[in-house]
Structure 1
Amino acid sequence: MAKRPDNLSFEQALLELEQIVGNLEQGNLPLEQALKQFERGIHLVRASQQKLTQAEQSVQMLTKDGEGEAQLVDFEPQE
C-alpha cells in the first residue's frame, strides 16, 4: 500500500510524481487506472506545496530582523 502523501518527504513525493507523469505520458494505462494515478498525483502536489510553504515560513522566521520584519535574501550556496 502506498504511503499517504503527508507521510512522504518532499523528495520522495517528487520522485513518485515523476513516475506518475511518465506513466500518464506513455498513454498505456486503462482509463480507470490513469484516473487513480492522476488523483494520487494531485494529492502529492498538494502535500508537496504545503511542505514548501512551511519551509518558506521557517526561512522567513529565521531571517527576521530585530524589528520583526522578515528580510528575504537570495540564497548563496557555499562552494
Structure 2
Amino acid sequence: MDSPIDALSFEDALKELEAVVTRLESGDASLDESIHLYERGNALRQRCSERLDAAQARIEAIRVDAEGRAAGTKPFAAG
C-alpha cells in the first residue's frame, strides 16, 4: 500500500485513495494509523488532481482573440 506515489498510474492512485477513505470511514484504525492514512490519502488526492490537470491540458487549450474572448480551442502541445 505504501508504494511511491509518483510511480502510480491515475487508476492505481484512485483505487488506493478509495481504500484509504474506506479504512478511515470504518473507524477501526488507531490514531497513529489514521494520521498516516490521512497523510497518504492527501498525497494520493494530490497525485490524482495533478494527473487530471495534465490530461486536461493535453486535450485542449482555449484560444483567445485580441479582446481576450474565447475564440475556439486547439490541441495542447506540451513542451
Q: TM-score, normalised by structure 1?
A: 0.74
How far apart in 2 are the matches of 1:5 and 1:70? 36
Which residue pairs with 2:47 in the alignment? 47
Higher strand fraction: Structure 1 or Structure 2?
A: 2
Map of 1:9 onto structure 2: 9
**1 CA distance for matches of 2:48 and 2:22?**
18
> Does structure 2 retain, via aligned residues, the 8 Å contact 1:5–1:44?
yes
Taking structure 2 as the reference length, what is the TM-score of the superposition?
Answer: 0.74
- RMSD over aligned Cα atoms: 2.2
Unmatched runs of 5 consecutive residues or more in structure 2? 64-70, 75-79
Whole-Å separation in 2 of the counterparts to 1:34 and 1:41: 10
Q: Is the 8 A contact 1:60 1:70 kept in 2?
A: no
Percent identity reads: 33
